[in-house]
Structure 1
Amino acid sequence: METAGTPTEFRLTGYAHGGGCACKIPPGELEEAVRGLGGQTNPEVLVGLDDGDDAAAVRIQDGLAVLSTADFFTPVVDDAYDWGRIAAANAMSDIYAMGGTPVVAINLVGWPRGILPLEVLTEVLRGGLDVAQLAGTPVIGGHTIDNPEPTYGMAVTGTAHPDRLLRNDAAQAGLPLTLTKPIGVGLLNNRHKQTGEVSEAAVETMTALNRDAAAAALAAGITAATDVTGFGLLGHLHKMARASGVGAVLDRSAVPLVDGAAEALRDGYISGGTRRNLDWVRPHLTAAASITEDDLLLLADAQTSGGLLVVGEVPGYPVIGETVVGSGLTVC
């Protein structure tokens, strides 16, 4: 690894053991760690820890709830500016996934200051600021630490109407499932880390805000949604179905893929996080005979800044399955 030079000379993904949301603590381990911390009795807490939703929601007055979230990760791409954009879009997504509007953000930074120069960090922060400005959200300050691995993200505060939240425990049986972004960026990001090959399609989808998709879902009267990030499509669908007491059927052929993802899967660029996602969901999963192990790994692919998974039909976005009476997931 190089330790001196201009920002463009650094392969940032080489400074981290994992990349993007694939570096999350595995879902089963995380649930064990926070077990017993839920069940808060404050009546103004609308969404807390109980079902692992995307953001906390607290009513502060009639007609107004405050949403709060934080999200950060190690480099998912080598370009510092793009990493900042991706991390910011990913953090904002938690607010959109709750049906809210982000109103202020602060930066969260861990930086190996003796290894990577500060001008690289400046590019990361510039990327985050540019995406936040697209969202109409001021970025005011933050917190930094000297850290062995570069880490960046944001804590974001948003607002929403308490009666118009999108929640992961509000799914009802008999409704279509809509996905608002293609999947497969985890495969492409892992290929990028291993080979240096840049996927412009992956960068484009990861930097896209979920603002318009959230607005369309609310306009359609949707009440249940989540975003698809590090636990993969299967993992986040399982969490939402479990929290809501329903089952789900997923149509593999209807799930859209980012350009190049199928080839990256064929070539074996599967992250450890993706394999752990599938291991976690597998006990709750029934697959049709036509579904291969590669199909399941694709559906478990650890996404970074993925789209919204919505219970209900959202015009302009593909339907990929439906919720059903019962429990567990079926892939056909």
Structure 2
Amino acid sequence: AGADAGAPCSGDPACSDSCSESEGGVGSAGTEAKRAEQCDLLVKLVRLVAHLAISRSVGEVIARAPELVSLLGLLETFGSEMSQEELLLNVVSAITNVTFYIDCLGDGAVDGHMGGHVLLEQHERLCGLLAVVLTHSNEEAVIEASRALGNLSRQATVRRAICASRAHEALLLLLYHQSVPIVEAATGALVNLAADGEQSAILLQADGATRIADMLLHLLSTPPADPAAVSGVILGAKTLCNLCCASIESPLAAEQCALLSGILEHATPPAWAAEAEPFPDTATANEWQQASQLLLMLLQRLPYADVGTESVAASGKDLADLEELVQLE
């Protein structure tokens, strides 16, 4: 990364032409060849780290290695650079795999202490860098950045940093992306934020409930051509449940609430009914039933802010079921 930062040419054709005219092109060509070789080596090294981190026992060791901080330097250098997408993707994938094991910290992640997890020790810097990647044109990098934020969102301290970096705003915008896997990944990063009292208020202020409801209405109104759609609507229903629990009135307008409730009243979304097996297995179907019915219960019981209808008290069993559903993952 240091050699790249000091390279006299940016890789842009205009820059190369300029160097050729002033220096005969020999030095420029040599610099570019060396830069390409270095980037190729970085891709291979980072990819190896990412693959090794898939193993839990190895991943936990890598997570505490001081050298891991170099991933942040690479992300700062290439996070918004379009010419090194392969390197960027491998860096973010490595971060995703390493942060998957933050549960190994146990009770160590208290009051900002991250139990030796190198990346989490610099979680504010990390969240800010991942927020930039969420705006990248490479869809795979966006998915990996969303997954990394989803992993990080399991820690309360990091949830605050995610919202402070405004990554939540980018995630909410991604709910309207044409790529269903991106929508699913973004929703997965929002579900724990919505279950955090402080961060749920921030999501509500950013019109998060309306955006999630829009996403649900879109995915539930068309047959699930992509498997990610099923996971996406389950995560979306849980996220909206969490936001409803943080509200004293419905976070949705009456019209939008009625449209969504009309779909949730069916065991299988009407637009999905034509599919022989819209859910991949019984467990997934049951998970959807639980999430959708609890969301329907909440939407029916919370008063509408725009029409002032009265709420209905939830039963003790309903609330117990709801509490089980909205627990942080």
Q: How does the TM-score come out when normalised to structure 1? A: 0.26
Larger radius of gyration: 2
Q: How does the TM-score come out when normalised to structure 2? A: 0.26
Higher strand share: 1
Per chain length, whose mean CA-contact separation is higher, i.e. which structure has more relative contact order (CA < 8 Å, sep 6+)? 1
